Structure 1
């Protein structure tokens, strides 16, 4: 009877240890993003707040499972070569948590695409994207179930072709279709206002960057798991990819504050100003007229209020203008595409 092959610590637990360090760093960013969201957007609906809370809780559970797995293999079972050959339940459950987080985030973007799509095409666009998102979720859960069945790390190659490969391909396709749809819809939302188009361009760049990041990690994980099924480099990548999905959602929600502040700074010379002109009147008593013009940005619809006030020998004319919140051609605002 042949003896079991030795465990190569460097390519297995050394890989997931490095992946865990990177993952915990990103988890800190996720926590900061969640804190910033609740601090900056207390007016958001309960659905959005619950969504952010659920993503952060799932991300925290994933971090706990990951730390438990590392402690089990590197501390509790230190020197026990037999224990290192079997997968503990927290390793496989961490993958399941990532699958659930990816599904929630992709459903969020699919819903945004549905709301921003034209009425006559929204079901087709959202339906196609939803198909790939659901396929990604199903293949992911199927992969986790097979990992629990196989259990031994030496049998991971049996999972690679039949389960992990479709799982990775569906993840790549779903991310690309979401990014392509967002770019198309945002491009069609261009208006005659230069500031609105600047915001749209920033959102398009963000959508492309998000797609490149998550898709590149999914491609890398699929290739590594297929080519090197006996190593844990794919697990290390999977630790990270779940955090990227969580951060992509929080970054989209928090980007509203940055976009608003950006347009405010660009227009500060024209928006937060007060001009006073003293004009000598030609009337006999030389009364002075004071013209005061004030323009302010707001995140509501455009409206203008003009009030004339006479007080003593002065006339004060106040003009208040509130700028539009990047309205679309169909009357909806772009901000509707960033929150529930």
Structure 2
């Protein structure tokens, strides 16, 4: 067998290897964020905990699949490169599109939940995003089904349905991100502290959506431009990892914003995860200052009364005023 008959591996399994290595770095970031999440929010709602656990399971499965592809191609078939381009495709390569779709869907469900909580007027946008997500997973499933019937030399044919699914995922991400930004923007008021917090949330939403969206676009372009190669695998693997990173970062960001946004009972909205109940938070911005003023006035009145106590039936009005002051302090707290 002549060396010229051996196809190059740089633009095929080399791309898979690079994507796997970079993906492992992001997998480590996800593990660290998950550890911090369970430390910072042990009392979160069961739904959020189940979502995080599902994300970790899918991330681990995705890691195993991509690593198995590299091991099978570079170790098992070492010195036998023709095996990489003949026969049936390896099972891990076939399952990779479906795992990608499920991973992206898990993260999108988390952000869709935020839209549903914000208000009914945003539910139509959430409905459109849900239909796009279902279509996305359907195309990824079709890519997996087709991969089991293809030879390795024709594995690039799965990029058609897989890239179509990525386009639907990108459209869903744009709707979700745009809706979240719109809801935050419409919540702005004249309070500078609240507006500053909302601006940070808007910037964060743009950044997280922009990074994943940009990598997704690169992956789709490579899939359609270089159809006979596996170049799309590297940005594709990295893009899927960013979905998990963005979800866990959104959950853990609540710790740094704790105390800036409060609900009506004075507790942070930790369970719902920055659910953007900004109209309620805004109303409470000035209350503590007004209550403190009322208490200070009562204290001054008490001190004046203390200087000239008036006795009535053997009971001092001084004592009654003290109880009023204490009652005022209790309400202020």
TM-score by length of 2: 0.76
Change (3 A) 1:286 1:164: same
Task: Summarize the Cα distance change of 1:316–1:6 in structure 2 as closer, same or farther, 3 Å threshold.
Answer: same
1:96 and 1:141 in contact (8 A); partners too: yes
1:168 CA drift (Å): 2.5
> Is 2:40 aligned against 1:23?
no
Q: Matches of 2:26 and 2:52 in 1, distance apart?
A: 16
Structure 1: segments with no counterpart, 5+ residues: 288-306, 323-340
**Among 173, 192, 206, the residue aligned to 1:194:** 192
The question of 1:185 aligning with 2:183 is answered yes
Distance 2:321 2:28 in 1: 54
Structure 2 unaligned runs (5+)?
A: 263-284, 310-319
Please tell me the root mean square deviation across aligned C-alpha atoms, in Å: 3.2
2:95 corresponds to 1:96: no
Q: Going by fraction, where is helix more abundant, 1 or 2? A: 2
CA distances 1:93-139 after superposition (whole Å, capped 9, x unpaired)? 2332121011121122222212213x3x3442221121212121111
Distance of 2:107 and 2:327 partners within structure 1? 53
Over 3 Å counting, the alpha-carbon distance change for 1:262 and 1:92 in structure 2 is farther
For 1:70 and 1:159, how far apart are their aligned partners in 2? Answer: 19
Q: What are the within-5 Å matches in structure 2 for residues 1-340 of structure 1?
A: 6-85=6-85, 87-117=89-119, 119=120, 121-152=121-152, 154-161=153-160, 163-260=161-258, 318=329, 321=332
CA distance in 1, matches of 2:110, 2:258: 22
TM-superposed deviation, 1:6: 2.4
Deviates more, 1:176-185 or 1:234-243: 234-243
2:304 & 2:108 partners in 1: Cα distance? 68
Cα separation, partners in 2 of 1:157 and 1:242, compared to 1, 3 Å: closer
TM-score (norm 1): 0.74
- How many residue pairs were aligned? 288
Instruction: Say whether the 8 Å CA contact 1:23–1:243 is kept in structure 2.
Output: yes
Aligned to 2:279: none
| Larger RCO: 1 or 2 (CA < 8 Å, sep 6+) | 2
